[in-house]
Amino acid sequence: MPPVLLSASFRRVLFLSIFVLAFPAAAEKVKLDASQWGHEAGDACVSCHTKSSSGLAQQWRDSAHAAAGVNCMDCHRAEREDADAIEHEGQVIATIVSPKDCGRCHTKEFEEQQGSVHAEAYSIIEDRLPALAQNVGGSAMQAASCDQCHGSRVKVRGDGTLDPATWPNSGIGRINPDGSKGSCSSCHGRHRFSKAQAREPEACVRCHSGPDSPDKEIFEASKHGMVYAAHREEMNLDAAEWVAGRDYTAAPTCVSCHMGAAGKLPSTHDVGLRNVWSLNTPVSKRQFLVIFEDGAKMELPGDEAAPRRGTEMARADGTVGVVKAVATPERRRQAMTLVCVECHGKGFTEGFMRQFDAVVELYNTKFGEPARAIMAGLYERGLLTPTAFDEPIEFTYWELWHDEGARGRHGASMMSPNHAWWEGMYLVGRNFYARFLPEARAAAGGHADEVVDAVLRANGQHEWLDQPGQMSAILGFPPQEVE
């Protein structure tokens, strides 16, 4: 493809266009417009629920839905043939209101959300559940833990009610009875469905906290979080559009950078759109986001050539898709940067991004790749069984990339020095040197030199281990005292 010179303004349109893609509607359900709001049975719902489960009705009364005349039945009504239709006080309803249902009015949000890493959160872990949730934990853990964030594959019983092994559930990648993926109420708490609430950092806490993804803690420990805490009441969280730099300037929240509008950058419900790196992987990759003609999306390693528009590609689910557009890592970075520059200079922003990228690259080359090579060597020589987690080193390796390694990379990406270092890379280093290597050598036995130490020697970043005479005051012993 010969290079094409584009005018600056055309390039801007092109650049932004990927962030306002209108996908072909995946929803088959009837669209609703305002003239159809206000189902005639709605008053009866509210009247009864003012006595029974009254909080639920009050939350709705406090909602934009109530103000707009959208009632219980507008969202919960179902067709008799729907898998999860039940009869309730003379009405045919479904307990679950799926993204497809919400999409009857909130079309743009639904289309952006479908195919996003959020919508795919259950699909991408389903084949891993036996090894971790079942073996290390037990089947009860899936409903109460994994599925509460990732979503459940909701099972409808013969009578239309929902199997308690799969529901209650508001996991973000829930496989709904109508085939749609996700749960809007994961972020927009029922039955208020508040914009403002979903814009607060606490909206993400249920899933983005804890050892493997302490994003809420990282935010709180960052300059952004510190300033947000002080100025929350000036954040204008209820604004219709909530454009950074216009509607608020005190601080960003999670939503600002990952989904929010800023200057000319439009908002999106595809939360991963602006992410350059895969950070929750054994080794991070810069990634393309491929968008297909049918609205599906796929991440691809950014070190291969970008697929061209019109190319047919096999997808994870076995189908073939036609490429409609590709967001390159550079474009994804540019999009994120458009948020930064609402409050920071360009030099500041670029300097920060370099510091972040350097941490990811350090993790990759010094720890991630060697650890993976060592594990591969152990598996290949049959020194470990293929079953995950039946040998202690598999927990060490898992936590090295999935927990402390992810924390270090996320900490650097969102500016919590504590998470980047003490809860991140310090532990990566400590566990690599003091736990993983000894365990790997023990597992390798007579093969330790070829499986473990050869990898370290080839790497070149571990030579300090061979310099036992370096003195430092760090442990509290002045160098001269130690002879």
Residues 6+ apart with CB under 8 A from 262: 243, 244, 245, 256, 338, 339, 342
What CA–CA distance (Å, rounded) separates 34 from 55? Answer: 26
Give me the residue label for tokens 């103000």: 67
Question: Which of 351, 442, 449, 450 is the binder for a second copy (CB under 8 A)?
Answer: 351
Question: Which of 69, 179, 301, 345 is the binder for a second copy (CB under 8 A)?
Answer: 345
Strand duo 261-262 + 243-244: pairing: parallel
What CA–CA distance (Å, rounded) separates 260 from 239? Answer: 12
* Window contacting a second copy (CB under 8 A); options: 77-85, 176-184, 388-396, 444-452: 388-396
Q: Residues 281 to 320: which contact a second copy by CB under 8 A?
A: 281-282
Question: Which of 11, 17, 20, 130 is the binder for a second copy (CB under 8 A)?
Answer: 130
Q: Are 292 and 322 in contact (CB under 8 A)?
A: yes
Question: Which of 4, 30, 144, 240 is the binder for a second copy (CB under 8 A)?
Answer: 144
**Considering the rule CB under 8 A, would residue 76 count as an interface residue with a second copy?**
no
**Considering the rule CB under 8 A, would residue 376 count as an interface residue with a second copy?**
yes
* Window contacting a second copy (CB under 8 A); options: 23-31, 162-170, 268-276, 321-329: 162-170
**Considering the rule CB under 8 A, would residue 148 count as an interface residue with a second copy?**
yes
Helices 346-362 and 405-413 cross at an angle (nearest 10°) of 170
**DSSP secondary structure, 57-117, as one string:** HHHHHTSHHHHHT--HHHHHB--TTSTTEEEETTEEEES---HHHHTTT-HHHHHHHTTST
**Considering the rule CB under 8 A, would residue 389 count as an interface residue with a second copy?**
yes
# residues near a second copy by CB under 8 A: 142
Min separation Cβ 111 and a second copy, Å: 26
What CA–CA distance (Å, rounded) separates 284 from 275? Answer: 12
Dihedral of alpha carbons 339, 340, 343, 346, sign: negative
Radius of gyration of the chain (CA): 25
Binding pattern to a second copy, positions 239-278, x when CB under 8 A?
Answer: -----xxx--xx----------------------------
**Considering the rule CB under 8 A, would residue 145 count as an interface residue with a second copy?**
yes
Helices 369-380 and 392-399 cross at an angle (nearest 10°) of 160
What CA–CA distance (Å, rounded) separates 325 from 318? Answer: 20
- For residues 22 and 473, which CB has a smaller minimum distance to a second copy in the complex? 473
- For residues 322 and 442, which CB has a smaller minimum distance to a second copy in the complex? 442
Min separation Cβ 252 and a second copy, Å: 9
Count other C-beta atoms under 10 Å from residue 261's C-beta.
21
Instruction: With CA atoms as reference, report the closest residue to 311 among 300, 322, 327, 299.
Output: 322
Dihedral of alpha carbons 54, 60, 63, 69, sign: negative
Min separation Cβ 229 and a second copy, Å: 4
Min separation Cβ 245 and a second copy, Å: 5
Question: Which of 87, 157, 164, 311 is the binder for a second copy (CB under 8 A)?
Answer: 164
Binding pattern to a second copy, positions 186-215, x when CB under 8 A?
Answer: ---x--x-x-xx--x-xx-xxx-xxxx---
**Considering the rule CB under 8 A, would residue 162 count as an interface residue with a second copy?**
yes
- For residues 295 and 405, which CB has a smaller minimum distance to a second copy in the complex? 405
**Considering the rule CB under 8 A, would residue 338 count as an interface residue with a second copy?**
no
